Amino acid sequence: MTIPENIDFFNKFSVAVPSFIRHPTLRKLAERVQHETLNALTSPTMYESGNTSQSTRILDSLYQTPIADASILVAITHERRPKLLLTRRAAHMNSHAGEVSCVGGKHDRGDGNNVVTALREACEETALPPNKVQLLGQLPIQTSKSGMSVRPIVALIAPGLVLVPEAGEISRIFWADLESLVTQPTVEYEIEYKMQEQVATILTPSWQVDGETVWGLTGRVIANLLETGFDRQLEWYYRVEKKR
């Protein structure tokens, strides 16, 4: 999908209003994510008059947040049985090849804020229309294994969208059932990692979703989403099991 040169196309953001969300699971998630987003607001005195809507406060909080190296869109379908959008990165990519991820990518100078980065990258990678997105807020920043700061932007998207993977970056689009993630036990995942002259076996939690293994930064983001929205406490660890 071609991105329009006028980036203002992405600046007409829609914010979800929790009281208008019919489904209890999504309403609870929206309330909690927005509460956390507003708690991070750097200038609460701006709203002491009480005349500013919550949607405006959410947007201002997102705009005031420092720009991260990259942003991802934690996109959840707005329906009775909500699903989380996931992708598998193409095998030929220079970084995170073949790994499961949320849509997103590096910040471009013209983006202006983290939300535009997340929406632009989502549009480029899957043809997700920005006008089908309702923002909820943001989650705490994560650090990738390459040292990049990554800001997760949480949003609702219309169900039944026809998404198309961009072949240069994405090999597959699939979905995780959100309510299943809340209760589904994690599975310990074993990976080999080269450390200088040695190869180490590292154990870490993961989810099995539609034949894919969800771990790493994506797993940490999901774990944080579940903690914020549903009080699910998960220990996320990387344990070196053996070296050779």
**Tokens describing residue 94:** 């220079």
Q: Which of 152, 241, 244, 240 is nearest to 199 (CA)?
A: 244
Phi then psi dihedrals of residue 194, to 5 deg? -85, 125
Residue pointed to by tokens 């949003």? 155
pLDDT beyond 80 at 244: no
Q: Which of 174, 159, 161 is nearest to 88 (CA)?
A: 174
Residue count (the chain)? 244
Cα–Cα dist 42/58, whole Å: 12
Cα–Cα dist 114/150, whole Å: 9
**Residue 147 DSSP symbol:** S
Query: What is the model's pLDDT at position 126?
Result: 97
Query: What is the model's pLDDT at position 92?
Result: 59
User: Model-level pTM?
Assistant: 0.90
- Beta-strand pair 149-157/187-195: unpaired
Query: What is the model's pLDDT at position 130?
Result: 92
Q: Where are the beta strands (DSSP E) in the chain?
A: 70-77, 83-89, 100-101, 103-106, 133-138, 142-143, 149-157, 170-177, 187-195, 198-209, 212-214, 239-243
Contact status, residue 172 vs residue 90, Cβ threshold 8 Å: no
pLDDT beyond 50 at 1: no
Q: pLDDT tens across 133-169, in order? A: 999 999 999 999 889 999 999 999 999 999 999 988 8
Phi then psi dihedrals of residue 70, to 5 deg? -150, 160
Query: What is the model's pLDDT at position 159?
Result: 95
pLDDT beyond 60 at 235: yes
Q: pLDDT tens across 176-219, in order? A: 999 999 999 999 999 887 767 788 889 999 999 999 999 999 99
Q: pLDDT tens across 2-45, in order? A: 343 444 544 468 999 999 999 999 999 999 999 999 988 655 55
Over 41-86, what HEC string results? CCCHHHHCCCCCCHHHHHHHHHHHCCCCCEEEEEEEECCCCCEEEE
pLDDT-based confidence at residue 127 (cuts at 50, 70, 90): very high
Q: pLDDT tens across 76-121, in order? A: 999 999 999 999 987 655 555 568 999 999 999 989 999 999 999 9
Torsion of CA 61, 110, 134, 215, to 10 degrees: -90
**Residue 240 DSSP symbol:** E
Query: What is the model's pLDDT at position 96?
Result: 55
Query: What is the model's pLDDT at position 91?
Result: 65
Q: pLDDT tens across 34-70, in order? A: 999 998 865 555 555 566 788 999 999 998 899 999 9
b/e string for 29-67 if b means 16 or more Cβ within 10 A?
Answer: bbebbbebbbeebeeeeebeeeeeeebebbbbbbeebeb
Which class for 26: exposed (0-12), middle (13-18), buried (19 or more C-beta within 10 A)?
A: buried
